Amino acid sequence: MNDERRTSGPGASCAEFETQIAAALAGEVSAAERRELDEHLARCPRCAREAADLAALWRGLERLPADQPSPFLAARFERMLRREIELDAQGSQRAGAAAGGRRFGAATLAAALAVGIGIGVLFRWFGAPSGEIEALRDEVGSLHQMVAVSLLAQASPSERLQGVAYGRQLAGQEPRVLEALFSALATDPNVNVRLAALEALAPATELPARRHRLVQAVAAQDSPLVQLTAIDLLLEGGGEAARRDLESLLADPDLDPTVASYLRDRLGRSA
């Protein structure tokens, strides 16, 4: 059938006016077309009935119950976005290092270069005494720690995400970085940063004191997404001890009902 037929106008047929009915319901007719249509409907009972039917259906469509997406859709999206942001940040760091342009990349490189030259000089003049090399290694470690902690304190979420990416490599060994990541998890206003901090802290589930802090962080979160992700990470990495710690959360009357339901499912508990 030809879709390009005339849809109204002087001398238009009923079929042509009928086509205008759905368009009028969508507000897709001009004032003149609307006037013509109204005049036709006033004198044509057949088309008026058609208009009443289509209007009822059109309004009915609006009233169809709209199921909300599950919380897992948002969680999947957050994970995807976080991964992309991290990849983007890594790409930027590489580009920045290549061009010597990015602030922290350049600072890190310059400092590492200075330390590297220092190591070379020491090797040449003193035969690489082990104590000096240890000290220099510590210095490099401190530099990474400083970069991670500094980035985590920046105003821009993308810089804080970079800080999490730096901190991820150091979270197991540098207390200041660990504290900065726990702080980001507890207080960062950006959910993506909190989720990234959570993943950076995942290895911490093996140690009881840190695992306990993570469980406490779950309870204190206002974002169900972060809570659901934390539950997954704790159950994946923390073993039976994490299950016991998480069970204590079920007694918390303030726990989000969706999170509580998810936790019960994961723990195999009935409501």
Q: Which helix (H) or strand (E) element contains residue 58? A: helix 45-63
Residues 6+ apart with CB under 8 A from 47: 14, 17, 18, 21, 40, 41
Handedness of CA 207, 209, 215, 217 (dihedral sign): negative
Q: Does 56 bind other proteins (CB under 8 A)?
A: yes
Q: Does 59 bind other proteins (CB under 8 A)?
A: yes
Q: Distance (Å, rounded) from C-alpha 66 to C-alpha 212? A: 40
Count of residues of this chain found to bind other proteins when the rule CB under 8 A is applied:
52
Q: Does 230 bind other proteins (CB under 8 A)?
A: no
Residue among 10, 30, 43, 69 that touches other proteins (CB under 8 A): 69
Taking the complex as a whole, how short is the minimal distance between the CB of residue 139 and other proteins, in angstroms? 33
Torsion of CA 116, 140, 87, 183, to 10 degrees: -170
Residue among 10, 30, 67, 130 that touches other proteins (CB under 8 A): 67
Choices 16-24, 111-119, 137-145, 238-246; region in contact with other proteins by CB under 8 A: 16-24
Q: Does 7 bind other proteins (CB under 8 A)?
A: yes
Q: Which is nearer to other proteins, 58 or 112 (CB)?
A: 58
Angle value at C-alpha 159, between 154 and 162, nearest 5 degrees: 125
Q: Which of residues 142-171 bind other proteins (CB under 8 A)?
A: 157-158, 161
Q: Does 222 bind other proteins (CB under 8 A)?
A: no
CA atoms within 13 A on the CB side of 177: 26
Instruction: Give the single-character DSSP code of 252.
Output: -
Q: Distance (Å, rounded) from C-alpha 125 to C-alpha 108? A: 26
Q: Does 123 bind other proteins (CB under 8 A)?
A: no
For other proteins, the binding residues (CB under 8 A) are 3-7, 18-23, 26, 28, 46, 49-50, 52-54, 56-70, 72-74, 76-78, 80-81, 84-85, 88, 92, 157-158, 161, 190-192
